[in-house]
Structure 1
Amino acid sequence: MGLRPPPSAAAPAGSPADARRAELADFLRTRRAAVRPGDVGLPAGAGRRRTPGLRREEVAQLSGVGLSWYTWLEQGRDVTPSDQVLSALSRALLLSPSEREHLFLLAGVAAPVSPASDPVDDETAALIDGLLPHVAFVLSPRFDVLAHNRAAELIMADLVSAPPAHRNLLVWLFADDSWPGTPAWEQTARANLLDFRTEYARNPGDPSFESLVSALSATSVHFRDWWEQHDVQAMEPAAKHIAHRELGPLHLLSGQSRPTHAPWLRLRILVPADARTRAAIAGAL
């Protein structure tokens, strides 16, 4: 793994790029100083240490990065590390998820998203359950439903009750093309497809994304036509009207956020928009 060679002309002194490189250099130095040799399996008394933490050569060795390149990063030189180098440095410096994201941000490199198969952590799962009686569920970058609460089972029973490998929101919306025909379906399906497009762009060539798009393009004319338009739009708050077979007409407001500690996930929440809907959902739980 390596770094791209520095360009022939450096950014002018005092420029935003110059300030960002200086911040990156300071961040690396402080993180290196915070790691004790014993934390990474090195002898604590190996040689006389003038400063706390790891030496530069130890970070280079642990990460597999050339010592000169790593030194240039700590000196604020005009070099751009690859995402592989930054991931290796994150491991060598024992960075937390927030620190890792900050490292990529300072380096001006897009951080790889966490794999779609990553489980939802206990805190996020507890948050979903705590949102009752509101509908809440979590989507992976591929729009697989990773976790949901009991209220979600009322609204999307056939989706969340499917085997885990088949709990995909896009498949639920587009697979058999039997839903189309109502403005409500078109609004929901198209909004989700446009939101998914951003994740598809973040995962170029990923076989799991490619197979999903190929399968839906083959089975759904609506998906194929909208996909070929290349439109993209982040999910926005929206009103939803659902004719529930058991609970009657439901009026909901939907929104989406991203957990700050796991920004690759999408937390979807649907709240009642009127008293009747609130009472219907609460009474069924």
Structure 2
Amino acid sequence: MPQGPEQRRELGAFLRTRRERVTPAEVGLPLSGRRRTPGLRREELALLAGISATWYTYLEQGRDIRASDQVLESLARTLRLDPGERAHLFRLAGHTLAAEAANEDPEPLPSEVAAVPRLLQPQPAFIINGRYDVLSCNQAAEELFPHLTDGPVAPANLARWTFLDPAARDVVVDWEEEARGLLARLRTMAGRHPGDPRYTTLIDELKSGSQEVRAWWPRYDVQVRHGGRKRLRRGGHEVVEYAYTAFHLAEQPDRTLVIYVAEGADR
């Protein structure tokens, strides 16, 4: 997949942030005097990855050069990227799989799929796309996440609700941790659709309305969507721990069914 200037800049910024978090001690390099910047120097990373320092500098500067699979693998290994970060690196370098480059929003959401969250009542459940637009949800989810679907801006969007609706900070007990993870997953999805105005518009809106997004977005954290556990304040008072699971829809991997089950509930 060809790279545009914006995607090359994203690649350079992502590499820089990852280089800055790796200490010389972690990769077996001796400390050599005072360092002006955190992490590895460019020439140190290039040496460890077995590539030219000049060529790597061009890559980080966003110049129009093409990195091979072998070079990307070496950089990912040296930078100690996790699987999600490694996949993000390859996508930014123009190695996106054909299935990921396809339109993520075939229309419309089939009625039998849209009905699934209602069939899962009373467990809170909803279907989202890669931008966290809420495509379908049941009554339990609407009650657990107040104003998610009846907010002033359409379409309903979980990222917008998390960062821009004050109710989210009351409902999500560990708000900062959860919000950071959501933003990292949104960046991962945006990396699969470079230049897509739908992502750009959403991200600009989040930056405009949230000081946290403005502070966290430049860190280039990425994360794949997954299940886990989350503490939520139900009904404005009771704190309940939920296990949640994400299922990607067949042939539509950017669309995800998310189901919440309260701790101790019958499963």
TM over 0.5: yes
Q: What residue is the counterpart of 2:130 in the other structure?
A: 141
Q: What residue is the counterpart of 1:241 in the other structure?
A: 231
Q: What residue is the counterpart of 2:208 in the other structure?
A: 218
Question: Tell me, what secondary structure is at the counterpart of 2:115?
Answer: helix
CA RMSD after TM alignment: 2.9
Q: What residue is the counterpart of 2:189 in the other structure?
A: 199
Question: Tell me, what secondary structure is at the counterpart of 1:196?
Answer: helix
Aligned length in residues: 171
Deviation per CA, 1:51-73, whole angstroms, max 9, x where unpaired?
xxxxxxxxxxxxxxxxxxxxxxx
Question: Tell me, what secondary structure is at the counterpart of 1:165?
Answer: coil
The 5-angstrom pairing of residues 102-181 of structure 1 reads: 109-116=98-105, 118-162=107-151, 165-175=154-164
How far does residue 109 in structure 1 lie from its aligned partner after superposition? 3.2
How far does residue 179 in structure 1 lie from its aligned partner after superposition? 5.3
Amino acid aligned to 1:199: M
Counterpart-to-counterpart distance in 1, 2:167 and 2:116 = 34
- Structure 2 residues not aligned, in runs of 5+: 1-96
Amino acid aligned to 1:119: P
How far does residue 192 in structure 1 lie from its aligned partner after superposition? 1.1
Q: 1:247 to 1:153 in 2, by over 3 A?
A: farther
Deviation per CA, 1:135-167, whole angstroms, max 9, x where unpaired?
110112211101001111110131122367241
Q: 1:251 to 1:172 in 2, by over 3 A?
A: same
Deviation per CA, 1:214-262, whole angstroms, max 9, x where unpaired?
1211221111221111111113322222222367332211121201132
Amino acid aligned to 1:248: E
Higher relative contact order (CA 8 A, sep 6+): 2
Q: What residue is the counterpart of 1:105 in the other structure?
A: none
Q: 1:179 to 1:132 in 2, by over 3 A?
A: closer
Q: What residue is the counterpart of 2:94 in the other structure?
A: none
Larger Rg: 1
After the TM superposition, list the runs of 4 or more consecutive aligned residues in structure 1 that deviate by more than 6 angstroms: none
Question: Tell me, what secondary structure is at the counterpart of 1:251?
Answer: strand
TM-score normalized by the length of structure 1: 0.53
Counterpart-to-counterpart distance in 1, 2:163 and 2:107 = 24
Q: Is the 8 A contact 2:100 2:192 kept in 1?
A: no
Counterpart-to-counterpart distance in 1, 2:167 and 2:147 = 14
Counterpart-to-counterpart distance in 1, 2:113 and 2:163 = 28
In terms of mean alpha carbon deviation, does 114-123 or 135-144 score higher?
114-123
Question: Tell me, what secondary structure is at the counterpart of 1:228?
Answer: helix
How far does residue 112 in structure 1 lie from its aligned partner after superposition? 2.8
Counterpart-to-counterpart distance in 1, 2:201 and 2:211 = 16
Amino acid aligned to 1:224: R
Question: Tell me, what secondary structure is at the counterpart of 2:250?
Answer: coil
Q: What residue is the counterpart of 1:62 in the other structure?
A: none
Q: 1:118 to 1:188 in 2, by over 3 A?
A: farther
Q: What residue is the counterpart of 2:248 in the other structure?
A: 258
Counterpart-to-counterpart distance in 2, 1:273 and 1:212 = 33
Counterpart-to-counterpart distance in 2, 1:251 and 1:239 = 7
TM-score normalized by the length of structure 2: 0.56
